Amino acid sequence: MAIHYNLLNKSESYRQRCDQFENRAMAYESGMRAPKRGIVTIPVVVHVLHNPASPAENISKEQIDSQIDVLNQDFRATNPDRVGVPAVWTHLIADAEVEFQLATVDPEGNPTDGVTRTATDKTFFTADDEDVKSSATGGVDAWPSLDYLNLWVCGELRSGGQAILGYAQFPGGPPETDGVVIAHTFFGTTGTVSAPYDLGRTATHEIGHWLSLRHIWGDDGSGCSGGDLVDDTPNQARANFGRPTFPHVTCSNGPNGDMFMNYMDYTDDAGMFMFTAGQSVRMSATLEGPRASFLARTATQAEPAQPRVLVGATVGSNGAEAPQASPAPAVAPAPATASADAEVGELRREVAQLRSVLAQIATLVARS
């Protein structure tokens, strides 16, 4: 969130774009606009930065693959540990209908495994200067942010002199710094990962930010005045750490208390299991707004499914109800008709126009 607030302070154009998005998100959340997309697949490039003096930083492909697997489970609500969600909230567990896959083609059109590896003399990177995102400062340049989610994985990561797990840029910022940065010890589920952040949830949390989700406690210190702009997440006083027990009541939010098992809190990886329906709607507003360039790959789908909420329950070993997925609406291939082709062509034209606008915005941001 520090990157977001820094951009708000520095750039009037960024503030305006954020305001425009919030108006869009409010329309979605109020039901005035319904999501129109189906499942969206995000191409991912993982930029591995490693210091030759610390060979462990050059993480394995297996570790990278394990992180992609976690993302696909968490954003599709197929993660087995969702049985830990208390019964009072199982009806809110949402399939965000977002999937991730390592890129197979690089920006020049060449085959790739979706991973770049760059040696650096840096012993640590900081969120304060964004050096990790530029080859001129010991990092590696982003791939085009309209086409790829850039994930930078590096050694130690700091902000304000303190070690951090990772950070992300919200939509609307400079394209050359757009993406997510995570320290290698908190990336994936195998290899160099370190408990209690060893289940890949740092990336889930940060990509939530990349898709416009805010911290569930509202970033208001320990007060009760802030919020995450999502109606179905309870107000709570502060970030939760470790493994709280249910119910954990703050801000007079009893009897159920904080939704500390939400991916946008700060609990241990083993203590977070869910996005809510409201958060899924906010992500839809993002994917049909500032990140609409990723919709082009699903343009041939007819009647896309709505964001899916998991319903029904069985009793898990911890006494909580385990959600079961409701049947997903069928998504048929678009018929080969002139009208379908016209719709696809129109969407592609809109995406092209959006790319042009975003390029102009990027120039304004650089000057502001």
Phi-psi region of 20 (alpha: psi -120 to 50; beta: other; left: phi over 0): alpha
Q: How deeply is 244 buried, as exposed, middle or buried, from its count of CB atoms within 10 A (0-12, 13-18, 19+)?
A: middle
Looking at the annotation, which residues are catalytic?
Answer: 206
Q: Are 200 and 225 in contact (CB under 8 A)?
A: no
Nearest partner of 116 among 90, 95, 141, 89, judged by Cα: 141
Identify the residue whose tokens are 């070690």: 163
Torsion 102-37-207-187 (CA) sign? negative
The Cα 252–Cα 224 span in angstroms is: 9
- The CA radius of gyration of the chain, in Å to the nearest whole number, is 20
The residue type at 256: N
- Alpha-carbon distance values, 87 to 62, 276, 280, 323 (Å): 35, 14, 19, 9
